[in-house]
Structure 1
Amino acid sequence: MELSLRRLRMLRELHRRGTVTAAAQALHYTTSAVSQQLTQLERDVGAKLFERRGRRVQLTEIGLLLAEHAEEIMRSVDRATSALEQTQEGVTARLTVGVWASVASGLLPSALSLLAAEHPGIEVRTKELAPEDTAVAVRDGSLDFSFVINYSDYPMPWDPELTRVVIAVERLHAALPPGTVSARTMALADLAEHPWILAGPTSHFGRAVRSACQRCGFEPKINHEVGEQATALAMVSAGLGVTLVSDLGLTLRPPGMDVVALTEPVMRTISIAHRGTEAHRQPLQLVIDAVRAAAAAQGLAARSPYP
C-alpha cells in the first residue's frame, strides 16, 4: 500500500471541516478534484473511508484511524523538513507566506531586502489572501507561515495548534477628504456625523472599527461598503466619506487625503503565525527576525514577541 501525502492532507481537512466543499476551499482545490482524490485514496486503502450524511460527510472507523495518523504524518513531514534544512551548508529554503495589501506594500519589501542581504539562499514567495483566511491556510499546510492581525477593539479567536509571534504594533488614524478638519488630532466620536467608507461586518477590520465606534457611543453611517483599503482611501480622497487607516495602510495613501491622529487610538498588532511543529525551523526564524527588524525600523516594534 502506497499512501499519497496530498490525499492524506485532504482526508485530514475533510475530517476537520465536515464537507468536501469546505475541505476544497481550505486547500485551494476544486471540489471535484478533492472528491476524486479521496475516492482514489479509498482505492489505495481498499476500504470505505467516509459516508455522506446529508450535506456533511462522516468518516468511518477506518477513515478516523487514517485521519489521526495523517495528522501525525503531516507533523513528521514538518519536522523532517526542518531537520534537513539544518544539515545543509548555509541556509537554503523556499517558504510561502500569506499576506494582504498593506503588509505586502508597507512591510514585506524592506524585510525581504534585509533577508536577501544576509541569507540569499532563503526564497520567500507570497500569496495574497484576506486577513481572515491566512491562519487557516497555515494550519492546513497551504502556507508555511502568514501574517495575522488582532485589534484592541475586537480580539480574534486563536487556533492552539498555531504559534503566533508579534512583529509590529500599529495605530489606526482618521482618513478624511482634504480640508475637512484643521485640527492635528481628533476624537473618534468627532466622526459620528460623517458618511463612512468601510469594509463589511464579516471582515476583521470592519468588525473592529464598528466596535470602536460603538465604544465611543455611535454607529458609523456607512455609505460605501468596500473590501479593499486602497479603494476606500481613493474614495476618501474623492470626498465620498471618512474611514480609518493603519500605519502600514498609509503606504496606500493617495494624494489629496488628510490623515489625523486619534486622541484615543485604536490599536492593532501584526503577528506571524506558523505551525507549532516548525518553531525551530531555522529559515523561518530568520525570516521572522528580518520582518521584526523591518517593523522596528519603521517605528512599529512590538514590546514582546508573544501575544
Structure 2
Amino acid sequence: MDLSLARLRMLRELHRRGTITAAATALHYTASAVSQQLAQLERDVGTRLFERRGRRVQLTDLGVLLADHAEEILAAVERATQALEEAGESVTAKLTAGVWASVASGLLPEALTALARTHPNILVRSQELAPEATAAAVRDGALDLSFVLDYSNYPMTWDAGLERAIIAVERLYAAVPAGAVPSASVTLAELSEHPWILAPARSHFGHAARLAFQSAGLTPRIDHAVEEQSTAMAMVAAGLGVTLVSDLGLALRPPGVDIVALGDILTRTVSLAYRTNTARRAALLLVVDAVRTAAAAKGLGADAALLSAPEPPAVPPPSPNPLGANPGLGLR
C-alpha cells in the first residue's frame, strides 16, 4: 500500500472540517481536485473510506481510523524534517509563510534577500491570505509560519497550539487628501464628520478602527468599505474620504495623499506565528530573525511600543491631487 502524504493531508482536513469544500479552502485547492485525490486514496487503500449522505461526504469507520493515523504520520514527518535540518552541516529547508499586502511589500523583500545571502539553502515561499485567516492556516499545517496582527484596542484570541514572535509595532496614521488637514496632527473627533474609507467590520483592521471610534463616543460616516490599505489610499487621493494607514502601509501611498499624525494613539503588533511543536526548528528561527532585523531597520522593532509621541515618519512630499481635494473634507 502506497500512501501519499498529500492525500493523507486532505483526508485529515476533511475529518477536521466536515466538508470537501472547507478542506479544499484550507489547503488552497479546488473542491474538485480534493475530491479526485480522496477518491484515489480510497483506491490506494482498497476499501471504502467515504460514504455519501445527501450532498455531503462522511468518513466511514475505516476512514476515521485512517484519518487518526494520518495525524500521527504527518506529525512524524514534520519531526523527521526538523531533525534532518538540524543534523546537516548547513540549514536546508523549504518553508511556506502566510503574508498580506503591507508585510509582503514592506518587510519580506529585505528579509528574504538578507536571508539568501547568509543561508542560501533556506527557501521561503509566500501565500497571501487575509490577516484573519493566517493563524488558522498555520495551526492546520497549511503554512509553516505566518504574520498575524494584534491591535492595541483589539488583541486577537490566541491558540494554545501556536507560539509567536513579535516582529514589529506599527502606529496608525490618518491618510487624507493633499492639503485637507493643515495641522501636524489630527484626532478622530476632528475627522469623524467626514467621509471614511475603512476595512469591513468583519476584519481585524476594520473592527479595531470602529472600536476606536466607539471608545471616543463617535459614529463615523463610512462611505466605502475596502480590504487593502493601498485601495483605501487610492480612494483618498481621489478625494472620496479619509482613512487610517499603518507604518508598513505608507510605502503604498499614492500621490495626492497626506499622512498626518493621529492624536488618538492606536498601534498594532505584527508577529510571526508558528506551531508549538516547530518552535525549535532552526530554519524557522532564522526566518524570524531575518524579518525582525528588517523591521528594526525601519524603526519598527518591539521597542516602538514604548514610543508615545505620534509623529508621522518622514515621507516624500505628495504631488497635488489631480482630481482636486474634496472641499467637504476641510477641517473646521
Q: How many residues align structurally?
A: 304
Q: Does the residue aligned with 1:133 lie in a helix, a strand or coil?
A: helix
| 8 Å Cα contact 1:10-1:34 kept in structure 2 | yes
* Structure 1 unmatched runs, 5+: none
TM-score when normalising by structure 1: 0.92
Question: For residues 161-200 of structure 1, what are the structure 2 equivalents within 5 Å?
Answer: 161-200=161-200
1:108-158 per-position Cα deviation (integer Å, ceiling 9, x unaligned): 122123212322222222222221222233233332211111212222223
Q: Which residue of 2 aligns with 1:155?
A: 155
Aligned-pair CA distance for 1:70: 1.2
* Structure 2 unmatched runs, 5+: 305-332
Q: Which residue of 2 aligns with 1:141?
A: 141
Question: For residues 259-298 of structure 1, what are the structure 2 equivalents within 5 Å?
Answer: 259-298=259-298
1:173-229 per-position Cα deviation (integer Å, ceiling 9, x unaligned): 111111222222222222210101112222221122112111111222111222221
Once the two structures are overlaid, the 10-residue window that deviates more, 248-257 or 146-155, is 146-155
Q: Does the residue aligned with 1:163 lie in a helix, a strand or coil?
A: strand
| 8 Å Cα contact 1:96-1:125 kept in structure 2 | yes
Structure 2 CA distance for partners of 1:49 and 1:160, relative to 1, 3 Å: farther
Q: Which residue of 2 aligns with 1:73?
A: 73
Q: Does 1:204 align with 2:204?
A: yes
Letter of the 2:164 partner, please give it: R
Aligned-pair CA distance for 1:5: 0.9
Letter of the 2:43 partner, please give it: R
Q: Does the residue aligned with 1:97 lie in a helix, a strand or coil?
A: strand
Structure 2 CA distance for partners of 1:27 and 1:291, relative to 1, 3 Å: same
Q: Distance in 1 between matches of 2:162 and 2:219?
A: 34
TM-score when normalising by structure 2: 0.86
Aligned-pair CA distance for 1:81: 0.8
| 8 Å Cα contact 1:97-1:126 kept in structure 2 | yes
| 8 Å Cα contact 1:19-1:55 kept in structure 2 | no
Q: Distance in 2 between matches of 1:194 and 1:53?
A: 53
Q: Does the residue aligned with 1:132 lie in a helix, a strand or coil?
A: helix
Letter of the 1:209 partner, please give it: A
Once the two structures are overlaid, the 10-residue window that deviates more, 267-276 or 64-73, is 64-73
Q: Does 1:236 align with 2:236?
A: yes
Q: Does the residue aligned with 2:132 lie in a helix, a strand or coil?
A: coil
| 8 Å Cα contact 1:100-1:128 kept in structure 2 | yes
| 8 Å Cα contact 1:112-1:290 kept in structure 2 | yes
Aligned-pair CA distance for 1:37: 1.7
Q: Distance in 2 between matches of 1:189 and 1:13?
A: 47
Structure 2 CA distance for partners of 1:187 and 1:99, relative to 1, 3 Å: same
Aligned-pair CA distance for 1:17: 1.0
Letter of the 2:220 partner, please give it: P
Q: Distance in 1 between matches of 2:92 and 2:43?
A: 38
Q: Distance in 2 between matches of 1:297 and 1:259?
A: 21
